[in-house]
């Protein structure tokens, strides 16, 4: 049966080759689209279960007073607190965007052990008030070296900020973002005291570490209770929920990508179904002859399903094999926004299962027609 199935598959080499190529391209597109979606959620999945983010209940754009820091430290279950502010600065021009944070160093780094910094560089960073820290991918993007001067022009925090690169960190895990940029909150605050006193002594959020993951809900409720009915009430949530909020802002884009990925699957289903329907229609007389020789309907189904699965497997294998190196072809600007732009084993597995499902579905109608073929009518059309 396998030999006969293989011969049927090779009967029309060009048709089979084009079908396999179409399957490969579709599976490749499906895997790459799913990889982009997975990379979008990489920051959410990499969130620590021990960290909470305490921000203004009104909006993330509204700051919190620095005076909240000692009160948060006194909340039972809290083992560490740090703070940061989103800094919207321009480097060269607006096209050169990267995440920038004015953070309480080194406390903020101590609460993020997934950011690995050489000890000597970390010591220099702590000593230099104008020192800054960049991720490995970000430094490679601009060719930065330790000791380089980096100038940011503030948009929300007006002014020119002259910083010195004192360290380059790498991620402990594949999903760790290596495109971030940190500098001392104290440096920003001192500048604001001179230029905009009303904006000084404020932070964007507090990063809170708890003793055990089971305490996150309880500690979050206690922190919010401390500042209830204050001029700046807080909203404390897990780091995962905090990061997920940013991802959901682009929910329409993610939905569109998902729709396109499954549309691709529909296209390959139609492609393979058309190929199998053409083959089955051409072989109705052969199926009738096989029936006269004693072949039962299940044998005909096995031939058709086997051929469809064989085409699907070959095409899917080629597409899956190409998807691994294909991520390296993404432009550098794209990879800057996705720290974990790699095809996962889960994506490869889903791609393989989907291809097998397409192979089975594409063979349903041709197999049904072959089983119902009437020997006399099929042989009457010969010649």
Identify the pLDDT of residue 337.
Answer: 61
What one-character DSSP code corresponds to residue 98?
-
**Which residue shows structure tokens 């930065």?**
144
Residue 37 has pLDDT above 70, yes or no: yes
pLDDT in tens, 360-377: 888 887 778 777 666 666
pLDDT in tens, 41-58: 666 666 788 999 999 999
Identify the pLDDT of residue 338.
Answer: 63
Mean pLDDT of 121-129: 95
* Paired sense of beta strands 131-135 and 181-184, if any: antiparallel
Best CA proximity match to 110, nearest among 82, 70, 76 = 82
Residue 242 has pLDDT above 70, yes or no: yes
pLDDT in tens, 134-173: 999 899 989 999 999 999 999 989 999 999 999 999 988 8
pLDDT in tens, 308-333: 888 888 888 998 888 888 877 766 55
**Which residue shows structure tokens 């699957």?**
265
Identify the pLDDT of residue 248.
Answer: 66
Q: pTM for the complete prediction?
A: 0.72
* Paired sense of beta strands 234-238 and 149-154, if any: unpaired
Identify the pLDDT of residue 136.
Answer: 92
- Average pLDDT of the chain? 84
How far apart are the C-alpha atoms of 307 and 297, rounded to whole Å?
16
How far apart are the C-alpha atoms of 206 and 102, rounded to whole Å?
12
Higher pLDDT, 267 or 169: 169
H-run or E-run covering 55: strand 51-56
Identify the pLDDT of residue 331.
Answer: 62
- With a pLDDT cut of 90, the percent of the chain lying above it is 42
Mean pLDDT of 353-362: 86
Sequence ranges of the domains in the chain: 2-43+251-380, 58-232
């Amino acid at each position: 049966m396998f030999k006969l199935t293989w011969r049927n598959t090779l009967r029309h080499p060009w048709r089979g080759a084009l079908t396999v190529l179409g399957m490969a391209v579709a599976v490749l597109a499906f895997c790459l689209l799913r990889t982009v979606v997975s990379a979008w959620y990489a920051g959410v999945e990499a969130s620590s279960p021990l960290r909470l983010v305490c921000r203004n209940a009104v909006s993330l754009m509204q700051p919190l007073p620095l005076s909240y820091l000692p009160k948060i430290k006194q909340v039972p279950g809290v083992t560490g607190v740090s703070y940061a502010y989103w800094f919207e600065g321009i480097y060269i021009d607006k096209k050169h965007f990267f995440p920038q944070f004015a953070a309480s160093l080194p406390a903020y780094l101590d609460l993020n052990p997934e950011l690995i910094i050489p000890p000597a560089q970390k010591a220099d960073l702590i000593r230099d008030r104008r020192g800054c820290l960049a991720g490995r991918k970000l430094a490679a993007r601009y060719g930065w070296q330790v000791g380089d001067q980096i100038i940011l022009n503030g948009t929300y925090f007006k002014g020119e900020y002259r910083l010195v690169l004192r360290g380059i960190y790498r991620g402990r895990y594949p999903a760790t973002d290596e495109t971030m940029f940190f500098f001392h909150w104290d440096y920003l605050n001192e500048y604001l005291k001179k230029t905009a006193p009303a904006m000084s002594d404020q932070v964007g959020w507090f990063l809170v570490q708890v003793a055990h993951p089971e305490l996150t809900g309880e500690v979050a409720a206690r922190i919010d209770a401390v500042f209830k009915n204050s001029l700046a009430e807080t909203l404390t949530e897990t780091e995962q929920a905090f990061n997920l909020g940013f991802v959901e802002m682009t929910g329409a884009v993610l939905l569109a990508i998902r729709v396109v990925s499954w549309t691709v699957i529909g296209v390959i289903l139609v492609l393979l179904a058309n190929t199998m329907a053409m083959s089955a229609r051409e072989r109705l007389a052969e199926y009738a002859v096989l029936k006269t020789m004693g072949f039962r309907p299940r044998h005909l189904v096995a031939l058709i399903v086997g051929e469809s699965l064989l085409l699907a497997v070959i095409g899917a294998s080629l597409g899956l094999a190409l998807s691994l190196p294909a991520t390296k072809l993404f432009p550098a600007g794209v990879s800057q926004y996705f720290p974990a732009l790699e095809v996962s084993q889960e994506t490869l597995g889903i791609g393989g299962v989907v291809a097998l499902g397409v192979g089975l579905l594409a063979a349903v109608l041709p197999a049904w027609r072959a089983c119902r073929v009437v020997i006399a009518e099929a042989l009457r059309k010969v010649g």
